[in-house]
């Protein structure tokens, strides 16, 4: 959690951020909130990845904190790659 925030804020050049909802110490929602506070990350797409037991409230929470998509595990590799590719094209 906090390590993800620190690493992101200390570095530049991210085109996309993939976040697991369940991380040690701090969940992905809080990480996204902290990352979004930095002006340089306001327009970087965030995609949440979480376990398949997700309900609509979890997805809604992700969108509230700035996610552009919400994928569930187990990940379908084709869907993940298509999501990443389309977001990178849109945000160029």
Q: Would you kindly state where each structural domain of the chain is located, as residue ranges?
A: 2-90
CA distance 75 to 83: 11
How many angstroms separate the most distant Cα atoms in the chain? Answer: 33
What is the C-alpha to C-alpha distance for residues 44 and 40, in angstroms, rounded to an integer?
A: 8
Burial of residue 12 (number of CB atoms within 10 Å: 0-12, 13-18, 19+): exposed
Whole-structure pTM value: 0.84
Level-2 CATH architecture, domain 2-90: 3-Layer(aba) Sandwich (3.40)
The pLDDT tens digits along the chain (92 residues) read: 778 777 777 777 789 999 999 888 999 999 999 988 888 888 899 999 988 666 788 888 999 999 999 998 899 999 999 999 999 988 77
């Amino acid at each position: 959690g906090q390590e993800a925030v620190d690493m992101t804020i200390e570095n530049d050049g991210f085109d996309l951020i993939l976040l697991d909802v369940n991380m040690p110490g701090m969940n992905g929602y809080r990480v996204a909130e902290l990352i979004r506070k930095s002006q340089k990350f306001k327009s970087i797409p965030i995609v949440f990845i979480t376990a398949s037991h997700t309900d609509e409230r979890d997805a809604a929470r992700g969108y509230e904190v700035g996610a552009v998509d919400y994928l569930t595990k187990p990940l379908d590799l084709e869907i993940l790659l298509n999501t990443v590719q389309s977001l990178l094209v849109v945000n160029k």
